[in-house]
Structure 1
Amino acid sequence: MTDANPTPTETPATTDDATPRALVRPVADSAAEATGAAVRRGPFRAGERVQLTDPKGKLHTVVLKEGGQFHTHRGYFRHDDVIGAPEGSVVVTTSGVEYLALRPLLSDYTLSMPRGAAVVYPKDAGQIVAMADIFPGARVIEAGVGSGALTLSLLRAVGDSGSVHSIERREDFAQIARGNVEQFFGGPHPAWSLTVGDLAPTLPLVAGPGEVDRVVLDMLAPWENIDEVHTALTPGGVLVCYVATTTQLSRLAEDLRSHGGFGEPEAFETMIRGWHLEGLAVRPNHRMVGHTGFLLTVRRMADGVEAPERKRRPSKGYTPATTDDWSPEDVGERPVSDKKIRRVRRDVGRGPDAED
């Protein structure tokens, strides 16, 4: 029987036959608002990023400043015309060109934010969150933070009640990531910790045995840290690795099998092909986001339990990779100049003199 006087926090949602179907709960009050939610709502404010779309669909991302101006070859407009306006407004340049003003989505932000290292593309970050089952409240270790693109997706997934501990070996990359994360969320995220150092010696200091739900590795040689990851993961926990080449993928898969503490690894890649939509001219776009990297996922076995033996064996001609001399150039990455790193750190407000 339905309560005749439902509480304010639980209002029965009914259909035409007055049969309760679900409980409709009000939006949480501002005191319990999730980190970063406030900066995603309301009118545009000075200091935040805005994404401008011109009539041809070209995107421009700018940081709003009081008294600032946005100039193009077809006129300009003042930032003050956007500040205070609601999201989804149209601003017009001095020559009459209209720009649609919206806040960048997470995928837009990661592709337009200042970067030192190459970012994990949104298509791969989404797959990592889904295939690794990053849930609210999860305890996640991320190694290889780069510019912080994947960190943003992980923090969104675990929420304020979870934890993401990022480990980055380069201090300059760590500062760039910190600047990007804090700009996106409007300040420090309570679930995020960042440590500068190598994964192997750092992981035992930040997580005890079996305390981690998920581990995400974006590094040149993830197989070098299998023992430490196995110790930190809880039984049934998920390890996800992002690698660039088939050579890395093969070495990683075989080393995980040889370890014996993990199940059968699975590998895949994601490709996105957009479509052109204009009247009856509906066709695939000529360009697509193709290969960016490989993702490998694997589950940790319970202590003392051996993984079932594989029924498929490598071909007779297979020879495991033996070299331990891996560098960014070996996997096709371009080195990042010190000059660019200094410029990007200034762009995110994390210059050499920035305070943590």
Structure 2
Amino acid sequence: MTATGSAYRRGPFREGDRVQLTDPKGRMHTITLTPGKQFHTHRGHITHDEILGSPDGSTFTNTAGVEYLALRPLLSDYVMSMPRGAAVVYPKDAGQIVAMADIFPGATVVEAGVGSGALSMSLLRAVGESGRVISFERRADFAEIAVANARAFFGEDHPAWTVAVGDLVEALPQEVEAGTVDRVVLDMLAPWECLEVVADALAPGGVLICYVATATQLSKVAEELRVSEQFTEPEAWEAIVRGWHLEGLAVRPQHRMHGHTGFLISTRRLAPGTTPPLRKRRPGRGYAEQDGEGGAAGGVQDAASVLRPEHQEWSQEALGERQASPKKIRKLVRGVVPPQER
């Protein structure tokens, strides 16, 4: 059986293929090949008919003599340029999630917070046609954008993907049987609110991995995982990628880099009735809740309560994240979703 989307990843360029054109300065332009159309810049144009039928990795010269390299965009290229309603999970973090959560072919994976579908596509690639990815998204417009983005990349709807609009806590028990999910990936504002339902869905030994933006979220998730006593001791990290400039003897780090995008925290489901081993590390001063009475040092404010502000509302704005305007979302939906499917 041919894997979903593989026919669009190899062979000569065909009508409907997305092609990435790179000019001599490294600027990239993504086009969808359509007979009779032209790709224009302020310096000449190339006809789509010239590109159709040519092998991947060909070069073309426009009417002004500018040469372009034509390649099919990789998944990492596509997710950085596709229409988005919510911030995407960067390829460097999606790769970490697939590897560190051990997403394997045939796995049943639950994803919450589908956003624009960037991570969903990496998960679908990993589980294959024999697996299952169930994605939950509270916003119907975000779900529509994600489905359209995935369809544009794979060339068709992926048979392993189910997108459910609704709240994970309410909908997950209706979608899966208890103890049958292999992996859970949470990309949401308050993943600790879902730990009970996630624990019920995960098989013993199953992996839970959360993607959060701030240290306050990271601390809250870790503490709630420990309190639940249903998971192993969590591990947290972030991935920072720094590119290198390679030109003759000028071999050095690039001035710009992909720095912090988010934190990842991972844990595994314990067998039912199992008590997690006691922590051997000595906790720092102020670790335990003091109900506002100060830490062990006398008068020192409790560090845990500072990192976990219980009385503040968890929202994108409070965490410093920009939120797309309703007008932009409506425009995106009109651009990527056919009228008959809205």
TM-score (norm 2): 0.92
Q: Give the superposition deviation at 1:302.
A: 0.4
Alpha-carbon displacement from aligned partner over 1:305-330 (angstroms, at most 9, x marks no partner): 01111123243232242136211101
Preserved CA contact (<8 Å) 1:175 1:350: no
| Structure 2 counterpart of 1:229 | 198
User: In structure 2, what is the Cα distance between the partners aligned to 1:52 and 1:269?
Assistant: 32
Q: Give 3-state SS (helix, strand or coil) of 1:330's partner.
A: coil
1:337 aligns with 2:325: yes
1:216 aligns with 2:203: no
**Aligned with 1:315 (options 272, 285, 292):** 285
Segment drifting more, 139-148 vs 317-326: 317-326
| Structure 2 counterpart of 1:150 | 119
Amino acid across the alignment from 1:123: K
| Structure 1 counterpart of 2:57 | 88
Q: Give 3-state SS (helix, strand or coil) of 1:91's partner.
A: strand
Q: Give the superposition deviation at 1:134.
A: 0.2
Aligned residues: CA RMSD? 1.2
User: In structure 2, what is the Cα distance between the partners aligned to 1:337 and 1:107?
Assistant: 25
Amino acid across the alignment from 1:354: E
1:75 aligns with 2:63: no
Q: Give 3-state SS (helix, strand or coil) of 1:254's partner.
A: helix
| Structure 1 counterpart of 2:219 | 250
| Structure 1 counterpart of 2:16 | 47
User: In structure 1, what is the Cα distance between the partners aligned to 2:96 and 2:140?
Assistant: 28
Total equivalences in the alignment: 323
State the percentage of identical aligned residues: 63
Q: Which runs of 5+ in 1 are unaligned?
A: 1-31
Alpha-carbon displacement from aligned partner over 1:2-56 (angstroms, at most 9, x marks no partner): xxxxxxxxxxxxxxxxxxxxxxxxxxxxxx1111111111111222211111111
User: In structure 2, what is the Cα distance between the partners aligned to 1:314 and 1:145?
Assistant: 36
Q: Give the superposition deviation at 1:349.
A: 2.8
Alignment of 1:268-283 (within 5 A): 268-283=237-252
**Aligned with 2:336 (options 320, 334, 348):** 348
Q: Give 3-state SS (helix, strand or coil) of 2:114's partner.
A: coil
TM-score (norm 1): 0.89
The 3 A distance-change label for structure 1 pair 237 and 314 is: farther
Amino acid across the alignment from 2:45: Y
The 3 A distance-change label for structure 1 pair 170 and 103 is: same
User: In structure 1, what is the Cα distance between the partners aligned to 2:312 and 2:126?
Assistant: 34
Amino acid across the alignment from 2:149: N
Q: Give 3-state SS (helix, strand or coil) of 2:341's partner.
A: coil
Q: Give 3-state SS (helix, strand or coil) of 2:304's partner.
A: coil
Q: Give the superposition deviation at 1:82.
A: 1.1
Q: Which runs of 5+ in 2 are unaligned?
A: 287-301
Alpha-carbon displacement from aligned partner over 1:67-124 (angstroms, at most 9, x marks no partner): 2111111111111111221111111110000000000001001101111101000000
| Structure 2 counterpart of 1:181 | 150
Amino acid across the alignment from 1:315: R
Q: Give the superposition deviation at 1:347.
A: 2.7
| Structure 2 counterpart of 1:21 | none
Amino acid across the alignment from 1:38: A
Preserved CA contact (<8 Å) 1:176 1:350: no
User: In structure 1, what is the Cα distance between the partners aligned to 2:71 and 2:284?
Assistant: 51
